[in-house]
Amino acid sequence: MTSIAEPRPAARGRALRGLLLVFALALFAVATPPPWAGLWFLVPAATAAALLLAWRFGRIGWLLPVGLAAGAVWVDGPTSLWAWWVPAAAATGAWMGSTEERGASSGRRAGMLLPVLVLAAALPWAIHYRDLIGGLERETRASDAQTIEILRSMGTTGDRLASVQRSIAEMERLLPERLPRTVPTLLFLWVALLVAVGRTLASWVAGWLKWPALRPGFLRDWRLPDGALWTLIAGLALVLSPWTAWAPTAWTLLLNAGFGFCVQGAAVVESLMLARGIPLSIVVLTLLFVLTIAPQMFLITTGALGLSDVWLDFRRIEAAPEGDGA
């Protein structure tokens, strides 16, 4: 008789990975000031729960983001800067779950981060956003002053210390301009990472419940939906416009859409290299090496390649039979 029960080594490995994940999230939560620390657990949990509910029970899964939105208002009020990320992530999870049976690719699932991106783009217009930026500025300046004191206690003096002080002073001079424009993007990337953790958690729960496996995500399948291009164009138009008040929103749209196309360019490179028989380990090491040595060139090149892939679709050309053009 053949048993359908999960082998014990696999079950133990899944449990061990789960414990390690919880431990890592707890470490990051301890290092994060409240109430933002709670997002390390709330976002993955909300994403996983909404995904599983929408996947297995249909529209019922969409009730969770609505309920969490009401909970955000009740817990921290409608002007909260942190609580709204939980229902936004849950909406992304429900969107993923509702399309799971259709087998959405990794790029399509990235497009489902739209609720999180909309929240990030709207964040600069929040009533307490300036207070958040002011607090981050004070913490950054205090950290810089502490860095200088540590260098002095280690015996750093003379030109070397003066050079560090000049560099820190230049960065602090640019803080009031750059910090408001980059914080929404950093928050979006953070929550997007936690959403990915939530999808992993949902995959483990599905395995424990003996449900069908969730579709895995592969970099080589990354192809953003067409709406990502319009997001990039809208962000660029706002950056070039004379409406300075829209600058944080504009940079949020432009940077995050640009990062998405950089990933798409890397996916094209991986796909073409794999098609030529290059091992995946060599592909990953090559991409990491170029990113480490020349990060700016890597981002520019992969971004341009990802944008051109919108029209040229390199992977479809590569997959076409050689005799098609005869």
Give the pLDDT score at 1: 39
Give the pLDDT score at 83: 94
Q: Write b or e for each residue in 111-134: b if 16 or more Cβ atoms lie within 10 A of its Cβ, otherwise e.
A: bbbbbbbebbbebbebeebeebbe
pLDDT digits (tens, 9 = 90+) for 38-96: 999 999 999 999 999 999 998 888 999 999 999 999 999 899 999 999 999 999 999 99
Give the pLDDT score at 103: 79
Give the pLDDT score at 192: 96
Q: What is the mean pLDDT of the chain?
A: 87
Q: How confident is the model at residue 318 (pLDDT cuts 50, 70, 90)?
A: low
pLDDT digits (tens, 9 = 90+) for 42-53: 999 999 999 999
CA distances from 44 to 12, 85, 326 (A): 22, 11, 51
Burial of residue 18, with CB atoms counted within 10 A of its CB: 0-12 exposed, 13-18 middle, 19 or more buried: middle
Q: What percent of the chain has a predicted confidence (pLDDT) above 70?
A: 92
Query: Which amino acid type is present at position 59?
Result: R
Higher-confidence position of 162 and 182: 182
Q: Is the pLDDT of residue 147 over 70?
A: yes
Q: Could you tell me the two tokens for 156?
A: 């750093």
Q: How many CA atoms lie within 13 A of 137 on its CB side?
A: 17
In SS3 terms, the chain reads as CCCCCCCHHHHHHHHHHHHHHHHHHHHHHHCCCCCHHHHHHHHHHHHHHHHHHHHHHHHHHHHHHHHHHHHHHHHHCCCCCCCCHHHHHHHHHHHHHHCHHHCCCHHHHHHCCHHHHHHHHHHHHCCCHHHHHHHHHHHHHHHHHHHHHHHHHCCCCHHHHHHHHHHHHHHHHHHHHHHHHHHHHHHHHHHHHHHHHHHHHHHHHHHHCCCCCCCCCCHHHCCCCCHHHHHHHHHHHHHHCCCHHHHHHHHHHHHHHHHHHHHHHHHHHHHHHHHCCCCHHHHHHHHHHHHHHCHHHHHHHHHHHHHHHHHHCHHHHHHCCHHHHC
Q: Could you tell me the two tokens for 218?
A: 């592969």
In angstroms, rounded to a whole number, what is the distance separating the alpha carbons of residues 64 and 50? 6
In SS3 terms, 269-285 reads as HHHHHHHCCCCHHHHHH
Q: What is the pTM of this model?
A: 0.87
In angstroms, rounded to a whole number, what is the distance separating the alpha carbons of residues 73 and 128? 15
Give the pLDDT score at 167: 83
Could you tell me which residues come within 8 angstroms of residue 74 by beta carbon, excluding any fewer than 6 positions away?
none
Query: Which amino acid type is present at position 71?
Result: G
Give the pLDDT score at 4: 46
CA distances from 322 to 34, 62, 79, 186 (A): 58, 46, 58, 44
Give the pLDDT score at 257: 95
Give the pLDDT score at 20: 87
Residue range 264-281: mean pLDDT, rounded:
91
Give the pLDDT score at 129: 93
pLDDT digits (tens, 9 = 90+) for 230-272: 999 999 999 999 998 999 999 999 999 999 999 999 999 999 8
